[in-house]
Amino acid sequence: MRYRNIFLTFLSISLAISAMAQRVVDFPPAESKPPPPVRAPPRTQASGEDMDILRPDEGPTMRKTQERSPPPPTTLTVMVKVSYGEVLKYVWPDGREQTFEQWQSYQNDGQRIMQLTNERLDDGNNYQYAVEPLSSPVFDPVDIPLLYMTGDYDFALTESEVQNIRRFILDGGTILLNAARGRDEFSRSAVREMRRVFPRKNFMRLPPDHPVFNNRYRLQQVMTMINGVQFMQTPEIYAIDIGTRASVILVPGGLGAAWSEEPYHPAGKHVIGESAERLGVNIVAYVLSSTEYGRFLAQEFPVYSAATGPGDRFRFGLVRYAGSWDVHPALQNNVLSALHGNTGIDVDFAPTSVALGDAELANLPLVVMTGHYDFQLTDEERNNLRNYLERGGMLFTSSSAGFSAFDRALRRELREIYPDNDLIPLPPTHPVFASGWNRVENVEYTSAALRDDPGLEHPVFYAMFVNQRIAVLHTPYDLFSAINRESNAFSRGLVPEDAVRVGLNIITYALSH
């Protein structure tokens, strides 16, 4: 009897483990042909240079008849498709049972998006992908900038997988999460599990002017299929940002079928055809162009507390609000260092952030506000900001990375505070630019800004006057990334040297007015 009980216990545990390993799902697996084997780059043999000295003192010269093969492209494995999850089971209507690995979905989607990236970017590199388990502790963003995670079903990460993702992203990497056939259960799981990775961060929908939609192709509309019906719509992508870099990218609309050239499931949600291909190339190109910026954000930034000397010292506050207010690490230290080094003004290097309800607000002659997404102030915050401005304070604002969502939100909030007042453009001859620390008239903008407006050559600023003085000074372009010398390839704003000149002019103007 004792042995029988042991056997039954063992059998029940085995059955429980088997059931856990093969969770039954109610949506069929994606059917896809296996990917072709990854081909090694062509092997080339160096030619023998075969040189003759044709004339004295002129050095070696190759024969004009010599034929040389061009150098092979540089092969770079830039994306890892991660394996994760369970072995699932689906029962077809005819009773046939099929077991499959949860992570695999379309088997050749990664291979083909790399093929498309090579064809469309044509930048001399041979980009490749590999497959590794998400539990692997070897992901280094310097070598592998992009992890690709896809599927159709609910999933849960192990604690080691959570730690690996967090470490990878904070070190400068990006993870792309795609609901292969647009299944909401995958997207809901992605939101839930990424909250474990970054408990204080939320997914934000990327605005239409985000570089994910505009770097290789400009994608304002994509062809979509839902329940077999095709139509055009605004692309829908969500991201968790580090700085202004989209570090966790969630695409809830299925890209897998189009990338793999497989049939679209009639009950799925798909981005289809050329739209899906262009969107995929844009995402990969964005990640490749953001690697240096990711490494910049991954470094340890010193925090200074020293003051230059006794007596009055200048300091300003960075406004805290319910939005992306703190996207430029060490910004205040860099601004104050430039101010002290160029003007000799005594400064307090201790970083100061201030909420619009803090009593400390009244002691600051200047506050800075930045961000790159939409935001909304509370009624109390609006009243406190109005009181601050009317008592002589000045608000200096800039759209991080030049994103228009912050610009629109700021203008809307200022209209709530001053319905009969407007932001008006300042000419380059205004004393803010034409006098003060350093005369500024012509400035240089980044290539990302010039791509949208090739005619940019003057500081673009808007001012709101309160009691016949400038109370708010705003630019829809990015000033602070440049002052911070962030290597953000997609920042639409001033180059560093001119950003520092403009920023110091604004501070010295505020102090003298």
| Position 8 in a domain | no
Residues 275 and 306 in one domain: no
Q: How far, in Å, are 28, 32, 463 from residue 255 at the CA level?
A: 17, 14, 44
d(CA 56, CA 80): 55
Whether 472 and 326 share a structural domain = yes
| Domain identity same for 392 and 508 | yes
Q: Is residue 291 part of a domain?
A: yes
- Indicate whether 440 and 454 sit together in one domain: yes
User: 28 lies in a domain?
Assistant: no
Whether 97 and 206 share a structural domain: yes
pLDDT at 427: 94
Taking the C-alpha atoms of residue 443 and residue 450, their distance in angstroms, rounded to an integer, is: 12
Residue 175 bridge partners (DSSP): 147, 248
Helix axes 404-417, 379-390, angle to 10 degrees: 80
- Please tell me the total count of domains within the chain: 2
Radius of gyration for the alpha carbons in the chain, expressed in angstroms and rounded: 28
Task: Measure the CA–CA gap between 239 and 45, rounded to whole angstroms.
Answer: 45
Does 315 share its domain with 289?
Answer: no
What residues have CB less than 8 Å from 304, skipping those under 6 apart? 333, 349, 350
- Give the CATH number for residue 152: 3.40.50.12140
Structural domain includes residue 134: yes
| pLDDT recorded at residue 104 | 86
* 57 in a structural domain: no
Contact 423, 463 (CB under 8 A): yes
Q: Kindly state whether residue 196 falls inside one of the protein's structural domains.
A: yes
Half-sphere exposure of 329 (CA within 13 A, CB side): 17
Same domain, 319 and 364: yes
Give the residue numbers spanning the domain of 186: 73-296
* C-alpha–C-alpha distance, residues 280 and 260, integer Å: 12
- 419 and 376 share a domain? yes
Decide if 53 is inside a domain.
no
Q: Same domain for 359 and 439?
A: yes
Supply the pLDDT for residue 47: 33
- Please tell me the total number of residues recorded for the chain in this structure: 513
Instruction: Return averaged pLDDT per consecutive 10 residues of the chain, 513 residues in all.
Output: 51 47 87 50 38 35 49 82 95 91 92 96 93 88 95 96 96 97 97 97 95 96 96 97 97 96 95 98 97 93 69 87 92 90 87 92 94 96 96 96 96 97 94 80 94 95 95 97 94 96 92 83
Question: What residues have CB less than 8 Å from 43, skipping those under 6 apart?
Answer: none
CA 371 to CA 398: how far, in whole Å? Answer: 8
Can you give the pLDDT at residue 438?
77
pTM for the model: 0.86
Q: Are residues 271 and 379 in the same domain?
A: no
Q: Which residues contact 398 (CB under 8 A, 6 or more apart)?
A: 368, 370, 474, 475, 477, 478, 479, 480, 493
Strand pairing partners for 239? 204, 249
Q: Are residues 94 and 175 in the same domain?
A: yes
Choosing from 281, 296, 311, the residue where a domain stops is: 296
Read out DSSP for 340-364?
HHHH---BB-S--EEETT-GGGGG-
Q: Beta strands of 295-352 (E only): which ranges?
A: 317-320
Q: Based on the domain organization, do 288 and 333 belong to the same domain?
A: no
Residue with tokens 């920023």: 503
Identify the CA nearest to 443 among candidates 404, 475, 488.
475
The CA distance from 73 to 130, in Å, is: 18
* Chosen domain end from 296, 312, 346: 296
Asked if residue 340 is part of any domain, the answer here is yes
CA 331 to chain centroid: 19
Domain boundary among 275, 296, 317: 296
Contact 243, 486 (CB under 8 A): yes
